[in-house]
Amino acid sequence: MQTIENYALGSWVKGKGDGQTLFNAITGEAFASASSEGLNFEEMMNYSRKIGGAKLRKMTFHERGRMLKALAFYLQERKELFYQLSWATGATRADSWIDIEGGIGNLFAYSSLRRQFPDLPYYVDGEMAKLSKEGSFIGHHICVPKQGVAIHINAFNFPVWSMLEKIAVNLLAGVPAIVKPATVTCYLTEIVVREIIHSKILPEGSLQLISGSARGILDFVQSQDVVTFTGSAHTGKMLKAHPRLVQESVPFNLEADSLNAMVLGLDVKVESPEFDLFIKEASREITVKAGQKCTAVRRIMVPENMIEPVSKALTKRLATTTIGNPQVEGVRMGSLASHDQVKEVREKIAQLSSQQKMIFGDLENFQVTGADKTKGAFISPVLFLNDAPFTKNLCHSVEAFGPVATLMPYRTTEEVIELVKLGQGSLVSSIVSYDDEIATEFVVGSAVMNGRVMVLNRDCAKESTGHGSPMPMLVHGGPGRAGGGEEMGGKRGVMHYLQRTAIQGSPTTLTAITKQYQYGAKQTLLEVHPFRKYFEELKVGDTLITEKHTVTLEDIENFADLSGDKFYAHMDANSLEGTIFTGRVAHGYFILSRAAGLFVDPPKGPVLLNYGLDECRFVKPVYPGATIGVRFTCKEKVDQEKRSEDDIPKGIVKWLVDVYDETGDSVAVATILTMVKKKEG
């Protein structure tokens, strides 16, 4: 029998004792055992903090992002190895695709997110705050990686995705992780971790694995650590109340199973495209992963006049679901993860049966293809009908974590919102509707009790990722029963592993700390035009004071003819009564364009192109006779990696364009970006 190992303190380690026996969910065969007995969790956590964390914190966001990209490509090349083992968890190829390639996709997504962060080990957050009258004392915020370890306690249903979607975030932030998958499917997590360690892409200490029990690990958490838990709400709340977490104020992110809802809008008729979309999506959500998804639909709500056509169409579609061995062609639903799960789901079905009628499914008489249903962890899809969901309310509190859902009627959108809320907090609810007023009412009304709300109709169906698919750049979590946490969410997720700290000081000092020019900081006046300098030669604070230009009425009229912008404030002095203007005013875009004429150095040089405009404000009217000049300052430098061997080495330079008039007041402020070549070699 195979022994599933732990990865601790830089080595693969077998736990002591016999450990927990692991079974193939399809065949029922005992094929492995897992144990973590003998592991020293305190030493593992210190190892992560001191070895892995120290190395990660020295890397910049861009370096960490490229590390994730390399890891994603590495795992993608070896995905078939994971598929070969995934079927033993009861998953079909389609189920495994969500788990395996969905997890790898998260690595790709967070790798790309590096471009939203500076090429620094830390992040500068938000805008500068002026704290004094003259501007010599300002404030800002920086976010630095926590000097602890992320402890991920994961559920059994997604042994790959659950790990990769979490470590993608903490690794980009610069924090190491200890992963504790559910033991029942830990063998799939282990093989992925083996490949990760073998790749040597991550710094040693960045990732450790506990394949058996992690009981007692929370006794050693410190204030810089982060704990995440995915699983049952009962277990999550128990862990969240651990005295050590409270004592050390350790962030705890809970993502729990919830009673997610799918709603058919009042506008949808049987002949509507949305009707077919609804039936397909509901059926898929019941049967994908054999219903073992934290986002799976548990409550299906339809207008009361649509109960009969929906029940007929949905039961007909469920009846076509072939259950069995995922390795057999044509099988669309595999098994649950274990016999324990079958027992638990059957108990919950019995509870639900006390209040509502089963209109599809038979727990005893169902066909299994290519396997022995008495040995594997198989179960039939089950659909209930609840004719009085406000009084027969077990469906709003009892969750069978399998292919089980309840169909129920509603009369108004306001009423269905209240039904959704009876679930006490969900990860996701969806509505299928082609009426945007109905969709708006539902989304706004139900959002307070949902972490995500999806609207599905004919316009987005082709590319929709579906009710049950959390996306890397959107938050995954939900209020109340769903745990009150947030995972992923793009930058929001990364911030979970960073310490945001307010910093105060002079503009010059904060410029040095943030590596971004802060308005009012000392400037280095250049004798050589900055467009003559290569990327490496430019310094934040390098400034060009340009020549000046006096604005004329002819400038305004010529720009109006050229641009076609003949807004009254520029062209008609008789229309200015009741406005803020005292005369015909120059176009803001003329001021910006003329500023470019003042700061641009025309001959060919290191500047390759104008990359764009980040922000622009016109802060003071400019009238004919005003004289303008530009303070042109290097604000920030963003390195760019080469896309190929033939690519030109370059970076992006952000410039502060401060246009001022003869009084010294700023009249326009903008940030422009240029692509600047690096020195050859």
Per-residue confidence (pLDDT) for residue 681, from 0 to 100: 54
Is 35 among the domain residues? yes
Q: Residue 680: pLDDT above 80?
A: no
Q: Are residues 138 and 284 in the same domain?
A: no
Alpha-carbon distance of 211 to 23, in angstroms, equals 15
Same domain membership, residue 283 and residue 190: no
Residues 431/432/434/439 CA torsion (nearest 10 deg): 0
Q: In this predicted model, what pLDDT tens digit does every residue of 652-678 receive, in sequence order?
A: 999 999 999 999 999 999 999 999 999
Last residue within a domain, chosen from 202, 232, 251: 251
In the predicted structure, residue 1 carries a pLDDT above the cut 60: yes
Nearest to 621 by CA among 576, 591, 658: 591
Q: Within this chain, do residues 52 and 173 fall inside the same structural domain, yes or no? A: yes
257 contacts 295 by C-beta, under 8 angstroms: no
Q: pLDDT tens-digit profile of 261-301?
A: 999 999 999 999 999 999 999 999 999 999 999 999 999 99
Tokens of 212: 């058996």
pLDDT of residue 17: 86
At 422-478, the pLDDT tens digits run 999 999 999 999 999 999 999 999 999 999 999 999 999 999 999 988 888 889 999
Same domain, 267 and 233: no
Question: Last residue of some domain: 449, 469, 489?
Answer: 469
Residue 159 inside a domain? The answer is yes
Of 469, 487, 504, which closes a domain? 469
Give the CATH number of the domain where residue 379 resides: 3.40.309.10
* pLDDT of 590 over the 90 cut: yes
Assigned domain for 34 exists:
yes
What does pLDDT average to over the chain?
A: 94
Same domain? 371 vs 461: yes
Q: Which amino acid is at 134?
A: E
- Whether residue 51 lies inside any domain: the answer is yes
User: pLDDT per residue over 635-656, tens digit each?
Assistant: 999 888 888 888 889 999 999 9
Instruction: Specify the pLDDT at position 646.
Output: 83
Answer yes or no: is 480 within a domain: no
Give Dmax (Cα) for the chain.
93
Output the pLDDT for position 191. 96
- Residues 487-523 pLDDT 10s: 888 999 999 999 999 999 999 999 999 999 998 899 9
User: Are the C-beta atoms of 405 and 298 separated by less than 8 Å?
Assistant: yes
Whether residue 272 sits in one domain with residue 232: no
**Which of 123-132, 303-312, 381-390, 626-635 is predicted least confidently?**
123-132
Distance (Å, rounded) from C-alpha 652 to C-alpha 350? 63
Q: Check pLDDT > 70 for residue 346.
A: yes
Mean pLDDT check: name the lowest of 231-235, 363-367, 404-408, 596-600: 231-235
| Contacts for 265 with CB less than 8 Å, ≥ 6 apart | 274, 413, 431, 432, 433, 434, 435, 438, 439, 442
Burial of 569 (0-12, 13-18, 19+ CB in 10 A): middle
Residue 509: inside a domain: no
What integer pLDDT is reported at residue 257 of this predicted model? 84
What whole-number distance in Å separates Cα of residue 152 and Cα of residue 180? 6
* 278 lies in the same domain as 396: yes
Domain housing 82: 2-251
Positions annotated as catalytic residues are 255, 294
The CATH number given to whatever domain includes residue 644 is: 3.10.129.10
- Do 125 and 212 have their domain in common? yes
The tokens of 629 are what? 């000049």
| pLDDT at position 195 | 97
Q: Is residue 211 part of a domain?
A: yes
Per 3-state DSSP, what percentage of the chain is helix, strand, and coil (rounded to 5)? 35, 25, 40
What CATH number is associated with residue 199? 3.40.605.10
- Residue 142: the pLDDT is 95
> How many domains does the structure of the chain reveal?
3
For the segment 70-84, the average pLDDT, to the nearest whole number, is 95
Q: What is the mean pLDDT of residues 249-262?
A: 92
Q: Is residue 481 in a domain?
A: no
User: Do 344 and 287 lie in a common domain?
Assistant: yes
Q: Which residues of 351-382 are buried (b: 16+ CB within 10 A; e: fewer)?
A: ebeebbebbbbeeeeeebebbebebbbbbbbb
Report how far residue 436's alpha carbon sits from residue 77's, in angstroms, rounded to the nearest whole number: 43
d(CA 27, CA 328): 13
Each residue of 106-147: pLDDT tens digit? 999 999 999 889 889 999 998 899 999 888 999 999 999 999
Q: Mean pLDDT over residues 563-585, rounded?
A: 92
Q: What is the DSSP string of 283-339?
A: HHHHHGGGG--TT-EEEEEEEGGGHHHHHHHHHHHHTTPPBB-TTSTT--B---S-H
Give yes or no: residues 268 and 241 share one domain: no
Let me know whether 332 and 457 are in one domain.
Answer: yes
- Percentage of residues of the chain with pLDDT beyond 90: 86
pLDDT at site 597: 94
Place of tokens 């495209």: 273
- For 424, phi then psi, to 5°, come to 70, 25
Question: Which pLDDT value is given to residue 259?
Answer: 95
Is 178 a residue whose pLDDT tops 90?
yes
Q: CB within 8 A of 344, min separation 6: which ones?
A: 401
Strand residue runs (E) in 161-232: 177-180, 207-209, 226-231
Same domain, 408 and 543: no
